[in-house]
Amino acid sequence: MKLNPRGFGLAGAAAAVGLGLVIAGCASTVEGTPTVNQADATSYRAEAATSSAAAAAAKAAAAQTKAIADNCDPFRATTGTAVDRYNDFVDAHDGNTGDQTAKRDAAAGALEDAAKTVETRVGASGPDLPTDLAQKFTDYVTAARGLSAEVQKMASTSPVGPLNDASHKVNDALNAVRGACPAK
């Protein structure tokens, strides 16, 4: 293999120029003390904080929207079965039919099941569910359990006053939740 003296010379010259530039660049220093531009730093910190707060707010809003949907969307179906079983019982009680006891037990069970389901959903949502809406769901749970207890006490000759009072509380609680939930 034969060396090309011309190519070798050209490569050597380029390396020498590059080395000279590096040495010349390192030879000069800038006097002074490095400092932070406080206006730029303050502006950057404010932008970072605003961006972080916006991201946190968006995350919280999304969690709240999900919690509301997780509770409000199934509420009507969950409580609808309990209302139907209760109405079946009332019809049987008023008519003094032979299946009154079975319908009483079905109504009490359906009311308790609805209360448990609503309570579980509210608990699963935790702090993401707005406090005022969570309270309305809790009021329904309490009223449904109260009505279930009154239904269980009923016999064909029982006075209906306590049952009617408990039923009104459930209706009020149902309406409060439905009024607070977004319309579908």
pLDDT reported for residue 42 = 73
Model pLDDT for residues 163-179, shown as the tens digit of each residue: 999 999 999 999 999 99
pLDDT reported for residue 11 = 63
Q: pTM value?
A: 0.71
Q: Where are the domains of the chain?
A: 66-180
CA distances from 179 to 78, 96, 173 (A): 16, 35, 10
Q: Which residue has the higher pLDDT, 60 or 67?
A: 67
Model pLDDT for residues 83-93, shown as the tens digit of each residue: 999 999 999 99
Sign of the CA dihedral running 150, 155, 160, 161: negative
What mean pLDDT is reported for the chain? 86
pLDDT band, residue 31 (cuts 50/70/90): confident
Sign of the CA dihedral running 79, 84, 88, 93: positive
Name the residue type at position 58.
A
Q: What is the DSSP letter of 183?
A: P
- CA–CA dist 125, 122 (Å, integer): 5
